[in-house]
Structure 1
Amino acid sequence: MFEDQQRFILRKISRINYTHTTMIDGYEDAEPVYKRFRDLLGPLSDHLKELLTYEYGGRTYKQVMGTLDLVGERVGSDRFHQDDIYAGLGLVAKQTAERGPSSGATVTGASFSAAFLGISQYKQQMNIALDAQLRVLKGLKDRAAHTDKSRMQVNNLRFDLETLRQSKAAQSAESVAADKKLEQEFTDASTAALTEMTAFIGDDGVEGVLQKIAEAHREFSEKSAQALKSVG
């Protein structure tokens, strides 16, 4: 690892033109996309936490989870069972329906209560799905750290190969053998890094997370809209 860091520094201070060593097809297209997605993991996690906990009145994800965790363990849907703004509205409306003579207002109060208590449950269900994706994002951060090491290896090997090709004076048997060995290592490392970056970007990575967040929110919104149609 120390050697890799030294080569990284050497690459940065060396002004070398890669005239003899090109990247494999697709690598230079995938790398900037991967880096952009990698750099967005933090903001995406932060906003996802806000989406997950907004109904608890502005408390942070950590505060909410600290209250809802049971002995530090995740406990399924019950971990989100706490009065939120939807449940609060539902309970208040329930009281208006239970007090006073029967009227249009009490009927509306009862249906309003049922709708918002239902929405509270739907939000809990969405929270479970969002929390799962939050854990996936945490795993993606670990994957990104590994991929960045793979990318460093690719760049180091490319530097070594290009340096060899620019410095050799003649096509000796020894230099040709060294060139062939380095080229194979470079190709193998590049292929592995490209595979990692492509997976990180796609369905098994950030794109998949976004799709699942959208799916969870769509289901919550559809169920909530259906519940609100019954108010009145």
Structure 2
Amino acid sequence: MLKNLNIEEVLFLDIETVPLAPEYNDLNEKWKQLWENKMKFQINNDEPAEVLYDRAGIYAEFGRIVCISAGYVFQKQGELVFRVKSFTNDDEKVLIQNFFNAWDAFSRTGKRRLCAHNGQEFDFPYIARRALVNNLVLPKIFDIAGAKPWELKDRLIDTLQLWKFGDYKHYTSLSLLCELFNIPTPKDDIDGSQVAKIYWEENDIGRIAKYCEKDTLAVANLLLKYKGNKIIPIENMEVA
């Protein structure tokens, strides 16, 4: 697969998500009970559901998307360049629809694949689920409910799944793989655990988008490394 993969046919993406409400106590009683039920089955510890609410953003039922960054690789004056655009909006429906519109335009140019790190278990289904919640029509590439992994391999690329080599138990973070492959990750401003605070308390979506954009470049560089190619330096990232 990697040998014949044309890197310029791939759209790389990363999403940032936050809990639906700033604090647990902002939920109504029904949603509090639903969150407590979710945590009872998901986590085996004695911590109250209220304490665990900062994890709500990772679940599409209890969180929402605040940023999708998407980028692609192309040749410019003999060098590989990465162009990235972020989609942000306080109205999640508008945000996702704008991304879908961009994907439609991108795919019409012959670029027909999506790539994310842990995309199979997080980014791809999260986008699809939140699109349905917002009454949006799924593009064909995201209409994957019930699909088998081998039915998706020509459309969706997951750098984590490629690293697993069939090992279903093994999770490796993007940051660890970047360190392993000597891929610079100049994300010295924030980390993922701070996104909700920055969104809800500081209202700084630009800072979140910048963080997300660098992740898309890291995913692109990881795939380039898998193929045995040179990586794209941060100086060759263009923000649309």
The TM-score range, normalised by the shorter chain, is under 0.3
Normalising by structure 2, report the TM-score: 0.25
Q: Normalised by the size of structure 1, how large is the TM-score? A: 0.26
Whose helix proportion is higher, 1 or 2? 1
Structure richer in strand, relative to its length? 2
> Max radius of gyration: which structure?
1
